[in-house]
Amino acid sequence: MLFLSLDHPSIACYDVQKQADWYCRNFGMRVIASNGKTPPAMVIGYDADCRGGTMIELMPATEPGPKPSTFTRFQPGLRHVALRVSDFQEAYRRLQALGVEFITDPGEAVGGGKTILFRDPEGNELQIVQRA
């Protein structure tokens, strides 16, 4: 098969290091690779190297544009990055304790399971999902 899988989504960030620290601290990710520049671009995730899976690229936002939090839920384009969890209620409670901004109530995931949408510190839309 020529096309194997999705490799990663990419998020342009106002402060890449601050975003990476938040994702790593709160979701157990780690920095897998960095270009070493200032500001950096990096790949974070759960694997030891870039040949694995479950990665997000964080890159510096260098062009003007609307803030991520201004995009509406069903506006065209990519809307969220989903993080799969093993225990929805525990993950939901942890996000509440972190003071994240929820943009939906808990609901049913397409294909089965529980889901909720929220925003990271820069306003990007994220989702947790526990599949049935």
Whether residue 49 has pLDDT greater than 90: no
Look at residue 2 in the predicted model and tell me its pLDDT: 85
Q: What range does the domain containing 46 cover?
A: 10-60
pLDDT band at 54 (very low <50, low <70, confident <90, very high): confident
Residue 119 near residue 125 (C-beta atoms within 8 A): yes
Residues 45, 73 share a domain:
no
Instruction: Give how many domains the chain has, as a whole number.
Output: 2
**pLDDT tens, residue by residue, 64-103:** 999 999 998 899 988 999 999 999 999 999 999 999 999 9
In a domain, 4, yes or no: no
Burial code (b: 16+ CB inside 10 Å, e: under 16) for 84-117 equals ebeebeebbeebeeeebeebeeeeebeeeebbbb
> What confidence tier does 108 reach under pLDDT thresholds 50, 70, 90?
very high
Is residue 1 included in any domain, yes or no?
Answer: no
The pLDDT of 105-131, averaged and rounded, is: 96
Would you call the peptide bond into 39 cis, given omega within 30 degrees of 0 as the criterion? yes
How crowded is residue 35: how many other Cβ atoms within 10 Å of its Cβ?
11
In a domain, 2, yes or no: no
Q: Within this chain, do residues 126 and 73 fall inside the same structural domain, yes or no?
A: yes
Q: Let me know whether 51 and 72 are in one domain.
A: no
| pLDDT, tens digit, 9 for 90 and up, residues 6-44 | 889 999 999 999 999 999 999 999 999 999 999 999 999
Q: Do residue 56 and residue 77 come from a single domain?
A: no
List the CATH number of the domain containing 21: 3.30.720
Q: Are residues 88 and 124 in the same domain?
A: yes
